[in-house]
Chain A
Amino acid sequence: MTVSSADPAELRMYAGRSTGLLADVAEATPAVASAVAALQTALPDAFKLTSTVDLTLPALGRARGVDVQVSVTADVFEQAGRGEGGVVTVDDAALPPLTPIFDQVTLDALTARLTDELTTLRERLASGSADETTLAELVGLLDMARILTDRGEVEGRGVEVAEGLVEHMGAGDVRVMLDMLEAAALEDDGLAMATGGFEDLAIVVSRGLEAQPARTERWVDSLTEGHDWFDGPPEGLVALAALGAPTTRTFGLAVWDEINQPRPGPPSLVTPRDARDGGLLDTMFDTTHAPQVVVRAAIDRPALANGIVLGADIDEFEELFGEPYYDVPRPRSMAGDLDALLVSSIDPSLPLNVRLSAASHAMTMVNEASDLAGTYRDETLTTLGTMTRPLLSNLDPNVGTIVFEAPAGGDATESADPLWDAAARLGNTDPGAAGLRTGLSGALDDLVASGRTDSASEPIKLETLGRLRRVREQMVTSVAGGRLDAIEADVESGGRTRDLDTTILDALGATPAEPVTVLVETVQNYRGDNAVEVVEGGSILGHQSEAAMTYRLVLANLAARPDLATPELMQGLTQAGIEGLADDDRRSAAIDRYL
């Protein structure tokens, strides 16, 4: 509870004088408007007034509003009655609400003033002259600092304002504040106030340090200096990391790295100061396991989740998201939290390049796993499958790579190879295939919506479509088929020259639109030496070339439409397609079956 004090008589005097004057101005306004209107009428046409003043003086409304607020505030103080020493104090919650109106100049001015107030407070704390009102003042100032940075955030200057607030602060100041807040949390009626203070301090500190990773690390080092890790991570610091602003990651990641350092003794569990109810973390996050606290926070903070995923090398990634090793005890419920963190790391609210980085990193981890199904839980495999979505959504079929807007402007590209490899591996597990299905379904919607398929058709585009189709074939069901067809229809509707892919599909459909000889020629032209090399160099699942893909597609469809399997077609397919199949058994089977 934050409190304010005032002498109601002072407030009354102010309100009485100012309100009367502003009323006089308002009363005079119609006369001004009337006189100017009369002059305008009297002026000859060529000399009319051109600049018109807003004589309704809308700004007056704001001035009257804040003065009315003083009147209401005076009422509240009067009703509260005088306390000890004649001072009237009331709970801030009982005072009329304010709608902050800040422009840049006033925001800067208030930032400077708040910094001064914090400095004074710190000096009082350091000199030992703090009293029982100091905590309330601290909480109140932190509340105000939070309001300021929130307002700065609205105006796109959140970091700048927060940096101004923490500019003259040191880790020692934060330590003092944390100590006060932690002590308050132990009091019977202090937990709510302390929680609010932690939240506000975390918001301000995380925003203020966001662009200063080196300073952040120094702060975290300083804040943990002398801490006995045998008691587990420091509770206040973990709370501060978890409660940071949603768009920030620097401070949270620095604490995350610190609490995950290998240390002797019981790992990760915070020893709550308040044994009665599990302490601050237990109250806010329903756990005292420090990493789980941060993970749970990151589920709602995509920037932090993204940083955690990107910061994990293969060993850390598997230790974190894989089946727990026997020597890494952690709460059973944390596994679900970690899956949610993976999803959060590619949240659509993040910049696209940042989302793609996390998704691509996850695919690399999938490819590096020696035993995918043995390392990850089924739920995690499904989640990893769904993480293909942003990558698939941003495939450019025309160049066969993942294309996105680079942070520095212009387009950047990323190889799709890790995606194809990971898709093949995930598709070989039922949970992974289920995740892929979800990812692909959404991605195909995204692709159609993006219009990225609506451009000239080239072999590379066909390869991409073929690979997408290959991913679809790996699915347990083919729910994504309709959407893939939609992409192909989208290409078709572009009015361009028919390409191989649509030609084949048409030829194998109910009403073949092209002569079979054209089909054969296109299949033959489509197969190239390079494609064969690709097939021979890669695994059947991961590196199918477009030639082999097309050939397999033709064979599969011919099984349903044997009437189309003319000798001419089959001869062409034999020449073109069989060479494209590196797998001897499959090639033999194809020959045996169709020739």
Chain B
Amino acid sequence: MTDQLPVPEREASTAVSHIDGAIDLLETAIGTRATHAADLTSWSGVKRLAWDEQWAYSQGDLAVAIDDLQTARAEVTRRVDEIRDHNAEVRRAEAAAELAVPWVLPTGLGSARS
């Protein structure tokens, strides 16, 4: 059989690593921004209220970006798993096919029975 596929282990590992790195950075950014925004106690006024609002919105943006990256990461690993499943299936099919090969009986034995 020839349809067993190569698993792109190295490429998948690299992609997951970069995605995880981006997620870490975004999570750090969200946390740090939140800490320092809370420290802005001296800033008051209407512009601060409006800024607060947009700042909260942008934090939401970053969280959405993390969700997107996690979705991408999940698909990368799912695809690799699917290839592995496919290959396993191929191997099982090959083994089954091997078992299904008819026995070729020795000529003499057959002749004797008949």
Contacts and interface: CB of A to CB of B under 8 A. Distances in A.
Interface in B12-71: 12, 14-15, 17-19, 21-22, 25-26, 28-29, 32-33, 36-37, 39-62, 64-65, 68-69, 71
Contacts of B25: 21, 24-25, 28
B11 A25 contact: no
Given A25-B25, A32-B69, A44-B5, A10 B18 contact: no
**Main secondary structure on chain A at its contact with chain B?**
helix
Interface stretch (A99-107, A183-191, A332-340, A519-527): A99-107
A17 B19 contact: no
B46 A144 contact: yes
A53 B18 contact: no
A17 B26 CA distance: 13
A57 B79 contact: no
A3 B8 contact: no
A144 B50 contact: yes
B51 to A, nearest CB: 6
A7 B43 CA distance: 7
B83 interface: yes
Interface stretch (A60-68, A205-213, A248-256): A60-68
A140 B46 contact: yes
Contacts of B71: 51, 53
B47 to A, nearest CB: 5
Contacts of A34: 18
A505 interface: no
Contact of B76 (A6, A18, A49): A49
Nearest to A25: B25
A26 to B, nearest CB: 9
Q: Which of A3, A98, A102 has the most chain B CB atoms closer than 10 A to its own CB? A: A98
A428 interface: no
Contacts of A51: 71-72, 75
Contacts of B60: 106
Interface in A6-34: 6-7, 10-11, 13-14, 17-18, 21-22, 24-25, 28-29, 31-32, 34
B82 interface: yes
Nearest to B54: A66
Given A29-B22, A60-B61, A63-B62, A3 B83 contact: no
A533 to B, nearest CB: 70
B21 A28 contact: yes
B53 A106 contact: yes
A39 B8 contact: yes
Given A42-B8, A51-B71, A4 B48 contact: yes
B81 to A, nearest CB: 10
Contacts of A31: 18, 21
A62 B58 contact: yes
Interface residues of B, number: 56
A153 interface: no
Contacts of A101: 53-54, 57
Q: Which of A2, A38, A63, A109 has the most CB of B within 10 A?
A: A63
A529 to B, nearest CB: 74
Interface string A143-175: 110010000000000000000000000000000
Contacts of A69: 51
B45 A43 contact: no
Q: Which of B18, B61, B62 has the most CB of A within 10 A?
A: B18
B41 to A, nearest CB: 7
Given A35-B17, A140-B46, A66 B51 contact: yes
B8 A147 contact: no
A21 B62 CA distance: 12
Contact of B65 (A13, A52, A59): A59
Given A18-B33, A59-B61, A66-B55, A6 B44 contact: yes
B56 to A, nearest CB: 6
Contact of A17 (B36, B52, B54): B36
Contacts of B40: 6, 10-11, 14
A38 B19 CA distance: 13
A42 B46 contact: no
A278 to B, nearest CB: 30
Interface in A88-106: 92, 95, 98, 100-103, 106
Contacts of B5: 44, 47
Instruction: Pick the most buried of B32, B61, B71: most chain A CB atoms within 10 A of its CB.
Output: B61
Nearest to B21: A28
A4 B43 CA distance: 7
A433 interface: no
A537 to B, nearest CB: 68
B14 A2 contact: no
A2 B28 CA distance: 35
A70 to B, nearest CB: 7
A470 B44 CA distance: 69
B32 A98 contact: no
B90 to A, nearest CB: 12
A220 interface: no
B26 A25 contact: yes
Contact of A14 (B37, B56, B58, B69): B37
A130 B13 CA distance: 63
Contact of A66 (B12, B26, B58, B76): B58
Given A4-B43, A17-B33, 18 more contacts: A2-B46, A4-B46, A6-B48, A10-B40, A10-B41, A17-B32, A18-B32, A21-B33, A25-B26, A36-B18, A39-B76, A55-B72, A62-B54, A63-B62, A73-B43, A98-B54, A109-B56, A110-B49
9 contacts: A6-B42, A10-B42, A43-B79, A44-B5, A47-B83, A49-B79, A53-B69, A60-B65, A101-B54
Q: Which 8 residue pairs spanning A and B have beta carbons closest together? A: A4-B45, A59-B61, A42-B8, A7-B42, A63-B58, A6-B43, A140-B46, A21-B29
